[in-house]
Structure 1
Amino acid sequence: MSTFRNFKMVDYVVYGRGSFNQLEDILAPHRKDDLPMIFLVDHFFEGKELANRIPVRGADKIIFADVTYEPKTTQVDALADALKDEFGMVSGVIGIGGGSTMDLAKAVSLMMNNPGSSADYQGWDLVKRPGVYKAGIPTLSGTGAEVSRTTVLTGPTRKLGMNSDFTPFNQIVLDPELTANAPVNQRFYTGMDCYIHCIESLTGTYLNEFSKSYGEKALDLCRYIFLEKDTWDDECDDKLMMASYAGGMSIAYSQVGVAHAVSYGLSYLLGTKHGIGNCIVMNHIEEYYPEGVAEFKRMVEKNGIEIPQGICKNVSEDQFDTMINVSLGMKPLWENALGKDWEKIMTREKLRELYGKL
């Protein structure tokens, strides 16, 4: 008898322009005694209007998180330990920002209730206890972090998520107004993260009708935004927010593929941001996604984006080995992309050649 994965989704979703204004009412039932809500906010918003709109009550605390680099297990542990030292326990953790901020919020929530280091939980279904209440509020669209069952972290030996049924948010607030005026390059890179999710999911060996339904819709939205539209407007923000959600749902019941597996190595060694890393890799993997890469290049050209080149030119052979080890550790991604015999196809030599082109 087949066993089908029992997929844990986000508990509650609110969508709409201005929905951020409902945050106080949404959080009220989840406040416990005098325990604070912790707002982890992308440091980009320090001193900006959005920070003044956060419904701080009582002992609540706003922490502006430095997400210049993607979250590390050490950063997660330091935040969770500091909160335990200051408050003992908290009512919840609310992530406001891009994918890195939301991943940080999910991880800190989990580590409030799980012993040890977040590095102990990098892998699949290692988390044993629910975290504290957590909500995600994206201010960039594309990563799908708002709906995923993972929180991607760079640890001492690998870049790998805390993939578990305890990881998804209890609540997400999807307010496209919050994504207005995002930096053009950053918006493109996170949008391409969504596009690449779709290409990898829709051409993968794990594909099923659940993933296909969400992936095809997200792909249509990305094509409209990045190929058909000539100027960015509110409609683009609305549509990209839904593409991000649908793209995240598409990979929830399947997997990503080659671009993500290779970019994990870049991120681990060089600190390359996830969206940019995916774009750098996507530029060179026609062999695996010929149609997707051709379309991606049209999107890059139409939107006037410069994809970085030659980022591996000063990398030593030992460092190449490190990237290769991190990348080959992403077994479900490679299997989705290349099938059960993926190790015969993507050899260390072939991966070394690919990294050499980036």
Structure 2
Amino acid sequence: MVPRVVYGKGSFGQLGEILMPKRQHAEAPMIFLVDAVFEDSQLLQRIPAIFEDQIILISASEEPKTAQVDVLVDKILNSYEYLPSGIIGIGGGTLLDLAKAVAIMITNPGSSTQYQGWDLVGKPAIYHVGIPTLSGTGAEVSRTTVLMGPERKLGINSDHTTFDQVILDPELTAGVPRDQWFYTGMDCFIHCVESLQGTYLNAFSQSYGEKAMELCEEVFLKDLPEEESREKLMMASWHGGMSIAYSQVGVAHALSYGLSFVMGTPHGLGNCLVFQHLEAFYPEGVRNFKKMLQRHKIQLPQGVCQDLSESELDTMVRVAMEMTPLWENALGENWESRISAADLKEIYLKI
């Protein structure tokens, strides 16, 4: 679990005070990985960069990649005589996952591709902080950093991945484009559906999952003031991330990984594209999802997979079926007898 959390409007202003005791010395910098969407914003000016600190702007238009992590780590290690004092990720799930992965790879040898899987990280990461500017992914609280590798989309799942500090400031999520707000929020909603109906469910994950679901339904099915909506969705994201930390996600995420790997589809949108066709697995969840789509007048893209080759479809299916823990959570230990490659291909062709 994340050991230190600060929550509240304006809490981003405490970042300098939070970082100061963690600074090793003046030549051991803090590295700020920031969503490039903030390049000309006041937020960038509020970052407490001092001494040898570096702000690196990164586009979040694509899913985070292992190659991108390796390049960032090499750049940081070759730019300074000393290891950084910390890595701070500011942005949505892409930036938070990059920050977690870079913090791990600063202290672990080789390529980040070597650590895609479960509990493969040998050495603790350097100090790292997560500051979400979108709500829904749960990346701020999870023990995974999901990366696109040369062979698969798979997280670095370990106890060393979790942030040392998180700042939850609802003001940072103001002004998010409506479609992006919806798709990222649906990532949280789908987390809850998959966790609460999974075979891995336990009292811990259930308690967090039920609260996250309650908050998602308030945000997306009721008329809330904008400020209250931001606050509740931020807490839904946190609780949803905690729920899957002690259980797992399921069918939608497995299929979404295949979609992202082949087509580069953003994670939240990919989950939505898949989830609309999963009535057989999550009937009540899909019904509520479609109500949310209608209420917020969201039109999902059509015909996304219609021009894919057989080879591309086969790759999508392979990537999805490699997510064994997700299928076990969704369908049980004998999941391979309950779902086939042909079944997955049929779902993809509906998208």
> Counterpart of 1:31?
23
Q: Secondary structure at the match of 1:160?
A: strand
1:86 aligns with 2:79: yes
1:293 aligns with 2:314: no
1:222 aligns with 2:216: yes
How far off its partner does 1:312 sit?
0.5
Q: Aligned partners of 1:252, 1:172: CA distance in 2, in Å?
A: 16
In the alignment, residue 126 of structure 2 is paired with which amino acid? V
How far off its partner does 1:232 sit?
5.2
How far off its partner does 1:307 sit?
1.1
How far off its partner does 1:228 sit?
1.0
Q: Can you list the C-alpha shifts for 1:79-131, whole angstroms capped at 9, x where unaligned?
A: 00000000142111000000010000000111100000000000000010111
Q: Aligned partners of 1:199, 1:30: CA distance in 2, in Å?
A: 38
Q: Can you list the C-alpha shifts for 1:251-310, whole angstroms capped at 9, x where unaligned?
A: 010000000000000000000000000000011010000000000000010011111121
Q: Pick from 187, 194, 204: which aligns with 2:181?
A: 187
1:42 aligns with 2:38: no
Q: Pick from 346, 351, 356: which aligns with 2:349?
A: 356
Count of matched residue pairs? 349
Q: Pick from 233, 237, 241: which aligns with 1:244?
A: 237
Superposed CA RMSD: 0.7
How far off its partner does 1:132 sit?
1.1
> Counterpart of 2:251?
258
Q: Aligned partners of 1:312, 1:174: CA distance in 2, in Å?
A: 37
Q: Aligned partners of 1:271, 1:294: CA distance in 2, in Å?
A: 27
> Counterpart of 1:4?
none
Q: Secondary structure at the match of 1:14?
A: strand
> Counterpart of 1:11?
3
In the alignment, residue 246 of structure 1 is paired with which amino acid? H
Q: Secondary structure at the match of 1:250?
A: helix
Q: Aligned partners of 1:155, 1:47: CA distance in 2, in Å?
A: 31
Q: Aligned partners of 1:161, 1:240: CA distance in 2, in Å?
A: 24
Q: Aligned partners of 1:66, 1:232: CA distance in 2, in Å?
A: 30
Q: Aligned partners of 2:306, 2:197: CA distance in 1, in Å?
A: 31
**1:60-71 alignment, distance < 5 Å:** 60-71=53-64
Q: Percent identity?
A: 60
Q: Pick from 14, 19, 22: which aligns with 1:22?
A: 14
Q: Secondary structure at the match of 1:200?
A: helix
How far off its partner does 1:354 sit?
1.0
Q: Can you list the C-alpha shifts for 1:219-253, whole angstroms capped at 9, x where unaligned?
A: 00010110011x65100000000000000000010
- Which stretches in structure 1 are left out of the alignment for 5+ residues? 1-8
How far off its partner does 1:341 sit?
1.0
Does the C-alpha gap of structure 1 residues 70 and 235 become closer, same or farther in structure 2, counting only changes over 3 Å?
same
> Counterpart of 1:304?
297
> Counterpart of 2:139?
145
Q: Can you list the C-alpha shifts for 1:302-351, whole angstroms capped at 9, x where unaligned?
A: 01111112110111111111111100010000010011111111111111
> Counterpart of 2:333?
340
In the alignment, residue 199 of structure 2 is paired with which amino acid? T
Q: Secondary structure at the match of 1:151?
A: strand
1:170 aligns with 2:157: no
Q: Pick from 31, 41, 52: which aligns with 2:45?
A: 52
Q: Aligned partners of 2:329, 2:3: CA distance in 1, in Å?
A: 27
Q: Pick from 66, 91, 95: which aligns with 1:73?
A: 66
> Counterpart of 1:5?
none
User: Where in structure 1 do 4 or more consecutive aligned residues deviate above 2 Å?
Assistant: none
With normalisation by structure 1, the TM-score equals 0.97
1:196 aligns with 2:190: yes
With normalisation by structure 2, the TM-score equals 0.98
1:212 aligns with 2:206: yes
How far off its partner does 1:202 sit?
0.4
> Counterpart of 1:273?
266
Q: Secondary structure at the match of 2:87?
A: strand
Q: Aligned partners of 1:67, 1:174: CA distance in 2, in Å?
A: 20
- Which stretches in structure 2 are left out of the alignment for 5+ residues? none
> Counterpart of 2:228?
235
In the alignment, residue 141 of structure 1 is paired with which amino acid? S
How far off its partner does 1:47 sit?
1.0
